[in-house]
Chains A and B, each alone.
Chain A
């Protein structure tokens, strides 16, 4: 079992000042595969000091220097691509096909976006006699989760580097190995010492230290709403900019003129992908009441064909969920669905047949769900779909918006103009029409309690920039 007990600070791998050991568990086997160190506030102090020192020079680098750096990172990333995908599958259970096609791929996608945007971004704009400058915000604390681990690290690191910021990353302690591999990639690419630092740790210790550190200028957090609130609370006394990408309970609106067979099937697969562990998963499927039975039949058939199994086995569609804690939470919510009177169509509590070990969840579909049920209100983060019937378009929009969350929305209709109209009424940050392919240049982020700020593309870059006005720059 590998021991990865060091942190990456100031361009070197160093022993923690003060740490305790923590096992990384393979969710398919429930066995430890590595041991890491969980650091302390003292380790964060060292990392922040290094980042602060490095910021002086890194913030003054030219666009060309940073472009060259990002290109070198992309090249090193490519060299370790397969290893990255396998690491992700082993520590958080995503099936290998998904790790290769999506999990690891998104990292490269965000790097390429950062390069593209940095090439053309106007950091200065003269408005009359006032110059408006965009400058790197400073030392950034990055806190990332386990569900799309490399996606979330790179959608922050790439634009932060492009902006000229330096950073301290606390990756998730549940899936830290991919982050350690990325640190090696950055080192090989020649990221200057102190620009990127990594301290492993848990939320209450290292996360808290980052959020409250006076030497950190902004915190970019992706994770649960509960933890995001704590980060903002800890950051408030030092008036940091805090951006949060939190939970979601996104509605998938199937309008009455949509091709039900295609759309419902795709909706079930979308909800189950990555074992339901996506903040923007389409977890509430809204169907016309008159076609509810039809939709339920299609959903049942689709869900029952999903192959659940070992992430490294051929033919596995979805793997386990990441941990025992998550598994128990999902089981509790499935039971709640049954207790509160939703119709269990397929799946249900317990492991799928034939899987005695590993945190595997049965792809589950509930029908006849009402929007006030727990399974319609709370984020489950498992392959559990709630199907809600609606009376008419007004009712569908009302149901979609009646949630404290607002991360994503999905609308399907045979009439694109109609889908567009409905999209503009959904209070969520990213709406997908008729199964459009994902777009890494589109702003991603939440309305309401799904978060603050936007990531991806140019929006991601601007989260790491401050705005300065220089009045009297030009002669009047």
Chain B
């Protein structure tokens, strides 16, 4: 059983590679679902924080190296993320149980390993997905179809399987070469057909490059 403190205080948001408090200083008091008692505190991001996060993600997408990483590099990054989460799995399972009331017995599988399995899937798909295809054009020429990253993506997460949904968004977004911001929340989100290659679709734009006939 992991050893998490009875009251966990997290004062900082993770933006542009750094931890820093919310611009407004506001915090959210987190109540344990089983006890109705405070179990921790988290920063409550302000619109100014969202602006910073989006600006950082924009910069990273427009000028940073990540979108230019090869599919293999992107896959490796996602695999590393999965391993890092697996290393902290007991802590994560316990924390999520405390927050949303999921029984501790189920938490490891339902809440944490489900997430790392999704990340592992996308680590593989990043390498095998047909990012570029050449197809026969209608009039005899050739068309190269690229699946290009859509850009800066915002993810809004629910509380029921929070890490799993985070993985369902981060996995395909990163596989596609997108940058992500912001990324936390207590709002509802719908779970779509996100598993598998279809999951990558919303994070990609189709770009057709029409090659001249003699190309």
Q: Interface on A for B, CB 8 Å cutoff?
A: 109, 113, 127, 416, 420, 423-424, 428-445, 447-448, 454, 457, 459, 467, 469
**Does the CB pair A467–B198 fall under 8 Å?**
yes
8 Å CB contact of B206 from A416, A432, A459 = A459
**In the bound complex, CA of A439 to CA of B138 (Å):** 6
**In the bound complex, CA of A189 to CA of B150 (Å):** 41
A437 contacts across to B, CB distance below 8 A: 139, 141, 213
A428 contacts across to B, CB distance below 8 A: 207
**Does the CB pair A441–B209 fall under 8 Å?**
no
User: Could you list 18 further interchain pairs (A-B, Cβ under 8 angstroms) beyond the known A431-B209, A457-B138?
Assistant: A109-B138, A127-B196, A416-B211, A420-B211, A428-B207, A429-B205, A430-B207, A430-B210, A431-B208, A431-B210, A433-B209, A434-B212, A436-B141, A437-B213, A439-B141, A442-B138, A444-B208, A448-B151
Q: B145 contacts the other chain (Cβ, under 8 Å)?
A: yes
What are 10 inter-chain pairs, A to B, with CB distance below 8 A?
Answer: A416-B212, A429-B206, A436-B211, A436-B213, A439-B210, A441-B135, A441-B143, A442-B145, A443-B208, A467-B193
Contact with A along B155-192 (1 / 0, CB 8 A): 00000000000000000000000000000000000000
**In the bound complex, CA of A420 to CA of B206 (Å):** 16
A459 contacts across to B, CB distance below 8 A: 206
B146 contacts across to A, CB distance below 8 A: 424
**In the bound complex, CA of A429 to CA of B213 (Å):** 20
**In the bound complex, CA of A45 to CA of B213 (Å):** 48
CB contact under 8 A between A431 and B207, given known A441-B143, A467-B198: yes
Question: What's the minimum C-beta distance from B188 to chain A, rounded to whole angstroms?
Answer: 13
Q: B130 contacts the other chain (Cβ, under 8 Å)?
A: no
The listed residue with most A CB atoms (<10 A of its CB), out of B143, B144, B211, is: B211
**In the bound complex, CA of A424 to CA of B146 (Å):** 8
Contact with A along B123-161 (1 / 0, CB 8 A): 000000000000101110101111010110000000000
Q: Interface on B for A, CB 8 Å cutoff?
A: 135, 137-139, 141, 143-146, 148, 150-151, 193, 196, 198, 205-213, 215
B211 contacts across to A, CB distance below 8 A: 416, 420, 433, 436
With both beta carbons as reference points, the residue of chain A lying nearest to B206 in the complex is identified as A443
The listed residue with most A CB atoms (<10 A of its CB), out of B146, B206, B208, is: B208
With both beta carbons as reference points, the residue of chain A lying nearest to B196 in the complex is identified as A127
**Does the CB pair A442–B193 fall under 8 Å?**
no
**In the bound complex, CA of A165 to CA of B63 (Å):** 43
The listed residue with most B CB atoms (<10 A of its CB), out of A436, A447, A454, is: A436
B193 contacts across to A, CB distance below 8 A: 467, 469
8 Å CB contact of A439 from B137, B198, B206 = B137
**In the bound complex, CA of A436 to CA of B151 (Å):** 28
**Does the CB pair B208–A436 fall under 8 Å?**
no
B196 contacts across to A, CB distance below 8 A: 127
8 Å CB contact of B138 from A113, A444, A445, A447 = A113
**Does the CB pair A439–B143 fall under 8 Å?**
yes
**In the bound complex, CA of A76 to CA of B84 (Å):** 63
A438 contacts across to B, CB distance below 8 A: 210
With both beta carbons as reference points, the residue of chain A lying nearest to B146 in the complex is identified as A424
B205 contacts across to A, CB distance below 8 A: 429, 447
B137 contacts across to A, CB distance below 8 A: 439, 441-442
**Does the CB pair B210–A441 fall under 8 Å?**
no
B215 contacts across to A, CB distance below 8 A: 416, 433-434, 436
Question: What's the minimum C-beta distance from B179 to chain A, rounded to whole angstroms?
Answer: 14
A420 contacts across to B, CB distance below 8 A: 144, 209, 211
The listed residue with most B CB atoms (<10 A of its CB), out of A431, A435, A467, A469, is: A431
With both beta carbons as reference points, the residue of chain A lying nearest to B138 in the complex is identified as A441
Question: What's the minimum C-beta distance from A435 to chain B, rounded to whole angstroms?
Answer: 7
**Does the CB pair B212–A454 fall under 8 Å?**
no
With both beta carbons as reference points, the residue of chain B lying nearest to A426 in the complex is identified as B207
**Does the CB pair B212–A433 fall under 8 Å?**
yes
A436 contacts across to B, CB distance below 8 A: 141, 210-213, 215
**In the bound complex, CA of A423 to CA of B148 (Å):** 12
With both beta carbons as reference points, the residue of chain A lying nearest to B143 in the complex is identified as A442
B151 contacts across to A, CB distance below 8 A: 448
B148 contacts across to A, CB distance below 8 A: 424
With both beta carbons as reference points, the residue of chain B lying nearest to A437 in the complex is identified as B139
**In the bound complex, CA of A113 to CA of B136 (Å):** 13
The listed residue with most B CB atoms (<10 A of its CB), out of A431, A439, A441, is: A439
With both beta carbons as reference points, the residue of chain B lying nearest to A434 in the complex is identified as B212
